[in-house]
Amino acid sequence: MAILLFSLRGVPEDEAYEVRELLTEHEINFYETSAGNWGVSMPALWLRDDGELTKARQLLDEYQVQRQTTQRQLYLQRKQTGETKSLFMHFKEKPLHILSYLAVMCLVVYVSIKLLFELGL
């Protein structure tokens, strides 16, 4: 019976590629399912053999720790060089864009509350 090993929903493509390479390199028998045409299916990596679960889980745990440290270092490096943008930087670049989003959010909240009181709690 197939066992879910690694969900690919929300995973960056480079990470998914590295996980596939890791499993292939260690000769772990797996297959991949996609999200389908409408994105409602489960994109994931599945193991074919139950006996490989502990080995695959250990490899993935080690990989995740290594990836976390490298991505954290990359983030800190980008933050020091100023490549990472904050909300304030986005606001300085496109103030009308952000203000329009804020106005639309306020309108949605206003209409929701107004309808709620008009229809009666």
**pLDDT for 63-84, tens place per residue?**
999 999 999 999 999 989 888 8
Q: What is the pLDDT of residues 45-67, one digit of tens each?
A: 999 998 999 999 999 999 999 99
Give 80: exposed, middle or buried? Use CB within 10 Å, 0-12, 13-18, 19+. Answer: exposed
Range 19-40 average pLDDT: 94
The pLDDT value recorded for residue 39 is: 87
* CA 63 – CA 78 distance, rounded (Å): 22
What pTM, to 2 d.p., does this model score? Answer: 0.71
Sheet architecture: strand order including 44-47:
3-7, 44-47, 30-33
Name the CATH code of domain 1-84 (choices 3.30.70.20, 3.90.1570.10, 1.10.3720.10, 3.30.70.1530).
3.30.70.1530
